[in-house]
Structure formats: structure tokens, C-alpha cells
Amino acid sequence: MNKMGDDYQEKARILVGYLGGKPNIVSVTNCMTRLRTVVREESAVDEARLKSLDDVLGLVHDREGFYEIVVGPGKSRKYADGCRFLGLPSAAGAPAKEGAGQKASETDNNWKEYKEGLHSSQKSSRLKSALKLVGDIFVPLIPGIIAAGLCAGIGSLIAQAVPDHENIKAWSLVYSLLALVNQSLMTYLTAWAGYRAAERFGATPILGGMLGMITSLDGINQISRLLGMYQEASPLDSILRTGKGGVLAVIAGVFLLSAVEKKIRSRMPESLDIIATPLLSLLFCAVPYILVIMPMFGYISGAVVWVFTKLCMSGSLVVRLIAGYASAALFLPLVAAGMHHGLVALYSVQLQELGYVTLYPALAMAGAGQVGASLALWLKARRVGNRKLCSVIAGALPAGLLGVGEPLIYGVTLPLGKPFITAGLGAGFGGALVMAMQVAATTWGPSGLLGIFVMTAGPRGAAGSVLMYVAGLAVSYICSFVITGLAIDKRTLLPEAGETSDPASSEKTSLPDTARTLAGEALKPGGYHTVRHGDTIWLGGQPDRLSYTLTDPSGMHARPAGKLATLAKKYPCDITITVRGKRASAKSPIELMGLGAGQGDVLEVQAEGEEAGSAISAIKEFLRQNL
């Protein structure tokens, strides 16, 4: 393996150690920006050290036993490869060691325990758990979905740019190859979904894949005709037909399959298990799946598609504008919480029913809003000499332009608080434009500049759809830039104590306690005094202090860090927080998150200067109520 691969093997080894070591890890997978891990014992995970790693932009832990480690585009796959090199399983259905004490895991082939884990979790609502579950099913499929969608998008552009491509051998060959790649996924998307759902629910994966594939076979139409459920004049209106219910039906069917298979296996003699259990499980599930689940979820899928089509492709321009704005403006919180993958079921239903996705183009504007807001922050930070923030933004912007917004979310806007909101408000205008212009996509996944190649569906044709998508990106960039520029006071971005700043920035000079006068002004220890050229000088005195033990299971995460920094900035004194020897300014949300403070850690808060006592009292009350 090359040097880069060796580096990530070592990084993965360190990360695995902080997750409790190999025996504590059930599985490791990755999406575009996150390493998604399942652990047996949460008590063995050192969240503080995980957050302190240079590559880690954020840590999402909102379900028992599940950790999503945000490392950014490209790195997530390298970390996953490093974990596989260490022998860690990537498949969710990998066997667990005996006596591992695994909690709420899909790998112990016990759906009952997994279900109880979901219901008992105090950190997730039922809706949130459901979205996460759907996301877990589809995340491993996203690379294939992106590849197929890009092929479909490029094929659409070829068809419009070269109308007679079928008569030109070279173009016909390229177009046929692109279509073949796209069909390889779309024809049997239900089979892939069934396989993954079986892994999640604890059923035998190949049986789930077979049940999903049944959905797409023509034999369903034959059964429908025999039972009088098929309408020859209008096949799409049939009670039962090939593809009816799509992936939603598959997920429900595999859930049933997992329950049936476990029941049969628990009563089957071991000598007959490998032969009889798979056969009986499929036969017992096939009838209710085909006759009940497929028709029922067919109508549910149809209703979902109808609702979103009426909103996204409404004949009313006003409805499309409102729907587009709301979708883009509210999407970022889902991304920050790691719940955005739960929407892929809706995307896939639309793709199967309509051949394109209507909601995704508007949601893609949310990432563009992050870019615009971050550019405004970069300019303001540069003016006040905050080189550290400028460096963070510069490092995350390239990924943001390519549609991967999580580095900007976790590294810039979310820690600062208000820019996270202004980014969404600005993105809403881009979402309103693309939905008003009825832009549609051939897939989901790529956004930002990379999304250009998949935004080729919709009534305006491939070229018109792409043009309107680019216009939407520009509107999102500009509006978020302007709103953030107006809402954020550059003084809130001043570099904190210890940060690199411009030479012109003011400095604080420490003088001995014995100093009593300067430039004719009587000075007292324990206070700030403005002297020549506005310089501020602190003269001794005892700082106010506070020790507080964190009780919040999530530790010092983004939201409380942002609120605490906002509170600290209201006081003119210096306020620092120290955890395990690591110090940060209480006025910098980025530094606060960098402490990696977790449950049980002791925060040593110190304030020096004017209103120090008041600051300590306010921070004490904040910590008591929030952490």
C-alpha cells in the first residue's frame, strides 16, 4: 500500500483505540463525509479524544451504540479502508463475538432487542429513529446511485446536444454504455434495498434481496392478471403490478421476513435449518407480501409522490416558491443531525414512479448557502485579523463548492450559531428559484458544482434545467453572503486571547501588582483600565474561578458551545475554560468544541478583569441549565 494508505492505517488504528478497540467495534461503514460505526459498549468510547483528532470535524451520537464521525469528503473512505485493513467488518450483518454485550445492534440477528433499543433510547424520537433506520439501509447504496444518476444525466445532455446520436456510431456507443450503467441499478434497486434491509433487521441478506427482486419481476403482472387485479387498459392504475410499492414495500416486507425467519429458525432442528428455514421463510412471506404489502404500499407511495409532485411541480408559482424556500431553508438542521439520509426513501420512490426527483434540487441549495455565508465570514474575519477562522474557512470551502457542506457546517457556521441560520435563510431563495423553474434531477447525492451533471430532468429539458440549477446556486451564494454580512457584527469574530491576529490588533499587557499609576491615572489591582492609545492593561488581582462537572451525555457539542460563547462575549473580561490541561477561550465556540469535553469531565472556568464575578455567576447558571 502507498504512503498515504499507510498514514490512514495508522490514523484508523488511533481512532479505533478511542472507540474502545477492535473488540468493542461491531461494524464500520462510511458515507460521503462520515465514518459510521456501531459499538458494543458506549462506556469504552473516549468521545473527548475522538473530537480532538485533527481530521474529526464533528461527532454525531444520537442513538445507542451508533457513532457518526465527520471527517470530510475523501477521508471517510480512507478511514473505512484503514479499518478494514485492521480486520473490522464493514457489513452490518457481520457476526459479533460471543458475550460481547452488544446493545441495540443489527448484527446480533435479534430484531426484538434492536427494536427495544430504539424505543428505550432517550436521545431519539420515533420519527428520528425511523429516518435514521432508512438512512442506514440506503447509505451503502449511495455510491452506486450517484454513478447511475450521473450516467443518466450525461446521457440526457448527449441526447439534447446530439439529437441524431443514435445514427452516429461513436455517440450511440457512449449513450448505450451510459444507459446500461444506469439500468444496472434502477432495474433492481428494490433488490439492493431488500438486501440492505435484511442486514439491518437481522434477516438473511440474500433472502431480503430475493424478496426485493420479486417486486421488479414480470411474474407479478402474471399473478395480478390471474387474480383479476390487473388493468390492461391502464396498467399504472392496477391494484397489483410489477414495482408496486417500490422500496417502501420492500422495507416492510423484509421486516416481516426477519420476524418469520427467526420464528422458524427457533423451532427448526439444526439438521434441517439450512435447507428448510430459507425455503419456508420465503414461501410464508411471499403471499402476504405480494397480495397485501405491495398493493398497500403502492397506494402509500403513490400518495407520497402525489403530494410532493403537487408541491414541487404545482401549477401555482406561489406554491412552488414557498415550497422551495422552506425545503432549502430547513434542510441544514437535518444534515447537522445526520438525518438527511432518511429522505432517500422519498427520492427513490419518486425516481421509480416518475423517472426523476423533484425535491432534491431545492435541498441541494442548502450547501450553497453554507458557501455564501462562509465567504462573508471570511471577509469579516480577515478584516479583524482572525487568521485562525480564515484558515478553517479556506480549508473547508473547496469541499463546500463541490457540494459537501459538512466541513463548513461543523467547522464554521454551526459553532458560530447565527451564521448557521443565515446560511439557511439565504439558501431558501435559491431553493425557491429552482423549484419555481421546476428543475428535476436524475438521482440524488451530487450537489454544488458536481450536481450540474444530474440536474437534467424537468419540463425545460436538460440544458434549461441545468441553467436554472446554476442560477439557483448563484442566488444561494449571493443571498447567504448578503444576509450573513448584514447579520454578523465583525466584532464578534475578533481573535481571542492566544489566537494569531494582525499586528495592529490590541494586546493586553500584564504588569506587577505593585504598579499603581500610569500616565497620571491611579490604578487598582483586579481591574481593566484604558490608557494610552486605547491599550488595555490588567493589573494583578485574584481571578474569579469556577469548577463544574459536565453531566450532559453529549458533552460540549456545537449548540451549547455556541450559546456559551455568545454569553461570554457579553462581558469585557477574559474568560478561559480548561479541561484536562487543555485551555480554550470561552468566547470562541470553535475552541470550546476543540476541548473535546465529555460527560464527567471537569471544566475549570477562570475570569480575569472587569465584571469577572458577574461573568462567572452567569456561566455557572448556564452550565447548570444546559450541561
562-604 pLDDT, tens digit per residue, is 788 888 888 888 888 888 878 888 887 777 877 778 878 888 8
Residue 390 annotated among the catalytic residues of the structure: no
Which pLDDT does position 220 carry in this prediction?
A: 92
Which pLDDT does position 73 carry in this prediction?
A: 65
Q: What percent of the chain has pLDDT over 70?
A: 82
Range among 70-79, 130-139, 149-158, 230-239 rated most confident: 230-239
Domain span(s) for CATH 3.30.1340.10 in the chain: 544-626
Mean pLDDT for 88-106 is 46
Given a cut of 80, whether residue 98 has pLDDT beyond it is no
Which pLDDT does position 340 carry in this prediction?
A: 66
Strand, helix or coil for residue 26: strand
Global confidence as pTM? 0.55
Which pLDDT does position 1 carry in this prediction?
A: 45
DSSP H helices, 316-409, are: 317-336, 344-354, 360-363, 365-383, 387-401, 406-408
Catalytic residue among 31, 83, 285, 312: 31
How far is C-alpha 188 from the geometric centre of its chain's CA atoms? 26
Superfamily for domain range 3-102? Glucose permease domain IIB (3.30.1360.60)
Which pLDDT does position 157 carry in this prediction?
A: 79
Which pLDDT does position 131 carry in this prediction?
A: 64
Which runs of E-coded beta strand occur in 179-237?
none
Which pLDDT does position 118 carry in this prediction?
A: 36
Higher pLDDT, 232 or 120: 232
Instruction: Please state, in angstroms and rounded to a whole number, the distance separating the CA atoms of residues 318 and 184.
Output: 39
Which pLDDT does position 126 carry in this prediction?
A: 62
pLDDT in tens, 350-376: 777 777 888 889 999 998 999 999 999
568-592 as b/e, with b when 16 or more CB fall inside 10 Å? bbebebbbbbebeeeebbbbbbbbb
> Which cell is 122 given?
432517550
Strand, helix or coil for residue 79: helix
pLDDT in tens, 154-190: 887 788 778 788 888 888 899 899 889 888 877 888 8
Mean pLDDT for 32-39 is 82
> Which cell is 23 given?
473488540
Instruction: Please state, in angstroms and rounded to a whole number, the distance separating the CA atoms of residues 183 and 185.
Output: 5
Instruction: Report the sign of the C-alpha dihedral through residues 146, 148, 153, 157, in that order.
Output: positive
At a CB cut-off of 8 Å and minimum separation 6, what does 39 contact? Answer: 19, 20, 24, 25, 26, 45, 65, 66, 67
Instruction: Please state, in angstroms and rounded to a whole number, the distance separating the CA atoms of residues 406 and 438.
Output: 27
Its CATH class, for the domain covering 544-626, is: alpha beta
Closest CA to 552 of 9, 14, 48: 48
pLDDT in tens, 508-567: 333 333 333 333 334 344 333 333 333 333 333 445 788 888 887 777 777 788 788 888
Which pLDDT does position 503 carry in this prediction?
A: 39
Which pLDDT does position 513 carry in this prediction?
A: 38
pLDDT in tens, 246-274: 888 999 999 999 999 989 988 888 888 88
Which pLDDT does position 62 carry in this prediction?
A: 66
Residue 44 belongs to what H/E stretch? Answer: none
Instruction: Please state, in angstroms and rounded to a whole number, the distance separating the CA atoms of residues 68 and 52.
Output: 15
Residue 569 belongs to what H/E stretch? Answer: none
pLDDT in tens, 9-18: 888 888 888 8
> 99, exposed or middle or buried, with CB in 10 Å at 0-12, 13-18, 19+?
exposed
- For 168, other C-beta atoms within 10 Å of its C-beta total 12
> Which cell is 163 given?
439529437
pLDDT in tens, 407-432: 788 778 887 888 999 999 999 999 99
Strand, helix or coil for residue 603: strand
Which pLDDT does position 129 carry in this prediction?
A: 66
User: If pLDDT is split at 50, 70 and 90, which confidence band does 34 have?
Assistant: confident
Range among 220-224, 234-238, 532-536, 558-562 rated most confident: 220-224
Mean pLDDT for 124-150 is 71
Given a cut of 90, whether residue 207 has pLDDT beyond it is yes
Given a cut of 70, whether residue 201 has pLDDT beyond it is yes
Domain span(s) for CATH 3.30.1360.60 in the chain: 3-102
Which pLDDT does position 374 carry in this prediction?
A: 92
Average pLDDT score, the chain = 78
Question: Measuring CA to CA, how many Å separate 553 from each of 60, 418, 525?
Answer: 12, 24, 40
